[in-house]
Chains A and B, each alone.
Chain A
Amino acid sequence: MKAQRTLGIVSVVAVGACSIVGLFLIPADRLQGEVQRLLYIHVPIAWVAMLSFFLVFLMSLLYIVQRKLKWDLLALAGVEVGVLCTALTLVLGSIWAKPTWGVWWEWDPRITTTAILLIVYIGYLIVRGISDDPDQRARWSAVIGVLGFVQVPIVYLSVFWWRSLHQPPSSPRSMASAFGAVMLSAFAAYTVAFTYLIMRRYRLAQRELELELRGPEELA
């Protein structure tokens, strides 16, 4: 619990510091102007979304092999964080696109595949609500967790496969060194925040499962 609290404090400080540097200390991009500062949160949050779905994929595979519910709970934590971050990625991208492209939304391959990714994992959360049996729920979820991950490389590669309005992936290597350093720090800060959120959501899921498994015995 103490480790979780420490990680939470580190996350707030790191994300806060990166936001202050990105918003106020680093100069604006020469071509994109002030709105480019949105990329210091849009890109790291997109990274966390992909990391979350990779975690879901791994945990779902582990569940299929070992049939231990702890893997299912970790996958659930990953999906919740992933859905939150994918939705934020789309909203941030839209706010960036309006002044840059002149439109809030475009049926561009990267944006469209990301929207499909979001729908797939919202589907995962809906499917979890269908069954009251924890094992059956975990089995169904694991299948979606593994199959749904196919969409992640499609999202990443969409800007290379199709003629796209969306620029190729922004990374510290594709930017000037000062911008790249801020971006790299933001990646690190949001990865720490991701670890904190997963840890906290997993603990909650564990406790909820304990109560769920105990419930029928008390009623009987």
Chain B
Amino acid sequence: MNNPWFLVAGYGITFVTILAYLLHLRRREKDVEREP
């Protein structure tokens, strides 16, 4: 119960996933900005 890797995995997966979603949004925003 005190293995820190569970915390690293939980917090890590959460923040990496949210960051990936934000980058995905950013890429699509750039795509629509490029449209005339």
Binding site for B on A (CB under 8 A): 19, 23, 28, 32-35, 37-38, 41-42, 45, 84, 87-88, 91-92, 95-96, 98-100, 197, 200-201, 204, 207-208, 211
Q: In whole angstroms, what is the CA distance A92 to B9 when docked?
A: 9
- Among B6, B17, B29, point to the contact of A95 (Cβ < 8 A): B6
Q: What are 26 inter-chain pairs, A to B, with CB distance below 8 A? A: A23-B7, A28-B2, A33-B1, A34-B1, A34-B2, A34-B6, A35-B1, A35-B2, A35-B6, A38-B6, A42-B10, A84-B17, A88-B13, A88-B17, A88-B18, A92-B10, A92-B14, A95-B10, A99-B3, A99-B6, A204-B28, A204-B29, A204-B32, A207-B29, A211-B32, A211-B35
Q: Assess whether A23 is in contact with B11, with CB atoms less than 8 Å apart.
A: yes
B residues 5-36 in Cβ contact with A at 8 Å: 6-7, 9-11, 13-14, 17-18, 21, 25, 28-29, 32, 35
Q: Assess whether B2 is in contact with A33, with CB atoms less than 8 Å apart.
A: yes
Given the contacts A33-B1, A35-B1, A35-B2, A19 and B11 also touching, CB distance less than 8 Å:
yes
Given the contacts A35-B1, A204-B28, A211-B32, A41 and B6 also touching, CB distance less than 8 Å:
no
**Smallest Cβ-Cβ distance to A91: which chain B residue:** B13
- Among A35, A84, A100, A197, point to the contact of B7 (Cβ < 8 A): A35
Q: In whole angstroms, what is the CA distance A34 to B3 when docked?
A: 7
Given A33-B1, A34-B6, A87-B17, 15 extra CB contacts under 8 A: A34-B4, A34-B7, A35-B2, A38-B7, A38-B11, A42-B10, A84-B18, A88-B14, A91-B13, A92-B10, A95-B13, A99-B1, A99-B3, A100-B1, A207-B32
Q: Assess whether A96 is in contact with B6, with CB atoms less than 8 Å apart.
A: yes
B28 contact set on A, CB distance < 8 A: 204, 208
B3 contact set on A, CB distance < 8 A: 34-35, 99
Closest 4 CB pairs of A and B: A33-B1, A207-B32, A38-B10, A33-B2
Min Cβ gap B7→A in Å is 6
